Chains A and B, each alone.
Chain A
Amino acid sequence: MNTISSHMVGLLEKLYRGCGYLAALCIFTMLVVIVVQVVMRWSGVTFPGATNYAGYLMGASIFLAAAYTFHEGGHIRVSLLVERLGRLRPLGEQWCLLVALSINGFITWHAFDATYWSWRFGDVSSGQDAIALWIPQSIFAFGSLVFTISILDHAIRSLAILRSACNHCRDSQPVRNNL
């Protein structure tokens, strides 16, 4: 049981980190696209759709990096109240994670739904790239799915802490977790 869950944890961390690397790659590619566009303009050639591609790459990097950023504590929050909850803190954390999970689950659901309908309707970008929109949209959907998984992952871990806190109710000090 323990080895399975630690194996799972390892896999998930790899997933977040992997998505983080992909996000970094997107930013790097975005730089290349923009520089190529500038240099091509200097030499009197156009790069149709360059601004659209740069936009998609940025969107992809934002959503791919979301889970990694979350896992590393990079998304910001007002932690004043939660930190003052003392031994009730795990409960507070659980509330935050559940709210975050439902909001992000909602986003992910609609990201997949919208991507599916883009694909069904054959939606194309109105820019010069004229790309089928489901392609960049599916990266968005994938990124927000991984983000949801990471929130769920943290919620489950926090639940475990909450349970052990209840078990040791009598002799425990305020419980901290690393979120």
Chain B
Amino acid sequence: HADVWDFPSPQPANNYISENISWFADQVREATGGELDLRVHPSGTLFPGDQIKRAVQRDQAQIGVHVLSAHQNESILFGIDSVPFLANSFEESAQLWEVTKPALTELMAEQNLQLLYHIPWPPQGLFFDREISSPEDADGLKFRAYNTATARFAELMGMTPTLIEEAEISQAAATGMVQSLISSGDPVYNHQLWDYLPHFYDAQAWLVLSHVFVNKERWDALDEETQQAVLDISLQAEQRGEQQAKELTETLKSQLSEKGVSIHQPAEKLREEFDRIGEEMQEEWLEKAGDQGRQLVEEYRAQQ
């Protein structure tokens, strides 16, 4: 009889992440002749994003997708994709992934998880409520921070980090409680924040990655043939995901500019400021990351 696996995703059904894993689920079902039936639950219906990793660890769900960098409190290595300006294009992000994959797989295995593949998000850019031609223009603006790293980024930019939960973001932007934020553009589009934050700076700060992982006991219980089939499909889904993210990067820009957002390339002074912040935050990260993190970053930099 068929093995039914629940597959929670934090993103709504029409988001490319949920679309990608639905495609993955269909392929797996087909390849295994229905023996492995993955049921996608979008929009955090089964478990909210933050809970998905733990739910898969404990077999409440058997497979899941979530951004690992949300769990960097557990291990700093999970946050390696979100170190500012370390890997800021799709190519570099893919290289960083190749370098870090073995270490991440090992770390996940210790937590009873099998890492399958990753899907990148479009590069993170900065949204402002006004035009920013030099770093001074951003001084004192209220910046929505969602973790320690983004709060630090705001401080280094001379902005005031403000903590706003996702559910309250549109009210906060509408009332000027938030004057700037960093995002891939997707949330800005989904929450329709373009009226309030009409200036986008293509900073390409980093690429957030979503990861697909399976409960390890479930994984080990599959026969080798099925495992190989799933791995093959993962590879295809990963390539599809990267392609989708690249297309989305362009679509988002055109969609946002249709809604009246001006898309800027950061002026030279701003670019220099970003570089300075990047260097500083990379140093700070390396200090915390220990030998393993330092080795991985060195290995990655050597390939540049």
* Whether chain A touches chain B in the assembled complex (some CB pair under 8 Å): yes
Chain A residues with CB under 8 Å of chain B are: 37, 41, 44, 46-48, 50-51, 123-128, 130
Instruction: Give Cα A27 to B145, complex, Å.
Output: 26
Cβ A46 vs Cβ B71 within 8 A: no
Instruction: Give Cα A50 to B162, complex, Å.
Output: 11
Q: Is B161 located at the chain interface by the 8 A CB criterion?
A: yes
7 of the cross-chain contacts (CB-CB < 8 Å) are: A37-B163, A46-B160, A47-B163, A51-B165, A126-B70, A126-B73, A126-B74
In the complex where A126-B50, A128-B148 touch, is A46 in contact with B163 (Cβ < 8 A)? yes
Cβ A124 vs Cβ B74 within 8 A: yes
Closest to B148 in A: A128
Instruction: Give Cα A37 to B168, complex, Å.
Output: 15
Q: Enumerate chain A residues within 8 angstroms of B73, measured Cβ to Cβ.
A: 124-127, 130
Q: Is B147 located at the chain interface by the 8 A CB criterion?
A: yes
Q: Enumerate chain B residues within 8 angstroms of A41, measured Cβ to Cβ.
A: 162
Q: Enumerate chain B residues within 8 angstroms of A123, measured Cβ to Cβ.
A: 54, 74
Instruction: Give Cα A51 to B144, complex, Å.
Output: 14
Cβ B161 vs Cβ A46 within 8 A: yes
Contact partner of B162 (CB less than 8 A), chosen from A46, A127, A130, is: A46
Number of interface residues of B (CB under 8 A): 16
Secondary structure of the A side of the interface? loop
In the complex where A51-B165, A123-B74 touch, is A128 in contact with B160 (Cβ < 8 A)? no
Q: Is B13 located at the chain interface by the 8 A CB criterion?
A: no
Cβ B74 vs Cβ A51 within 8 A: no
Q: Enumerate chain A residues within 8 angstroms of B148, measured Cβ to Cβ.
A: 48, 128, 130
Instruction: Give Cα A1 to B278, complex, Å.
Output: 74
Q: Enumerate chain A residues within 8 angstroms of B109, measured Cβ to Cβ.
A: none
Cβ B145 vs Cβ A46 within 8 A: yes
Q: Enumerate chain A residues within 8 angstroms of B74, measured Cβ to Cβ.
A: 123-124, 126
B136-164 residues with Cβ-Cβ distance < 8 A to A are: 140, 145, 147-148, 151, 160-163
Instruction: Give Cα A44 to B161, complex, Å.
Output: 8
Proximity string of chain B (111-139) to chain A, C-beta cutoff 8 Å, 1 when within and 0 when not: 00000000000000000000000000000
Q: Enumerate chain B residues within 8 angstroms of A46, measured Cβ to Cβ.
A: 145, 151, 160-163
Cβ A128 vs Cβ B147 within 8 A: yes
Other A-B contacts than A46-B162, A124-B74, 6 sampled, CB-CB below 8 A, are A44-B160, A46-B160, A46-B163, A47-B163, A51-B165, A128-B148
**Most chain-A CB neighbours within 10 Å: which of B50, B73, B140, B148?**
B73
Q: Enumerate chain B residues within 8 angstroms of A51, measured Cβ to Cβ.
A: 163, 165
Instruction: Give Cα A47 to B70, complex, Å.
Output: 19
Cβ A48 vs Cβ B151 within 8 A: yes
Instruction: Give Cα A50 to B74, complex, Å.
Output: 19
Q: Which 7 A-B pairs have the closest CB atoms?
A: A130-B73, A124-B73, A44-B160, A46-B161, A126-B50, A126-B70, A126-B71
Closest to B163 in A: A46
Q: Enumerate chain A residues within 8 angstroms of B140, measured Cβ to Cβ.
A: 44
Cβ B163 vs Cβ A48 within 8 A: yes
Q: Enumerate chain B residues within 8 angstroms of A128, measured Cβ to Cβ.
A: 147-148, 151, 163
Tell me the smallest distance from the CB of A26 to a CB of chain B, in Å: 20
Q: Enumerate chain A residues within 8 angstroms of B160, measured Cβ to Cβ.
A: 44, 46
Tell me the smallest distance from the CB of A57 to a CB of chain B, in Å: 16
Tell me the smallest distance from the CB of B75 to a CB of chain A, in Å: 10
Q: Enumerate chain A residues within 8 angstroms of B151, measured Cβ to Cβ.
A: 46, 48, 128
Instruction: Give Cα A50 to B151, complex, Å.
Output: 14
Closest to B71 in A: A126
Instruction: Give Cα A128 to B161, complex, Å.
Output: 13
Closest to A124 in B: B73
B145-196 residues with Cβ-Cβ distance < 8 A to A are: 145, 147-148, 151, 160-163, 165
Instruction: Give Cα A44 to B158, complex, Å.
Output: 11
Instruction: Give Cα A128 to B140, complex, Å.
Output: 22
Q: Enumerate chain A residues within 8 angstroms of B165, measured Cβ to Cβ.
A: 51
Q: Enumerate chain B residues within 8 angstroms of A125, measured Cβ to Cβ.
A: 73
Closest to A114 in B: B58
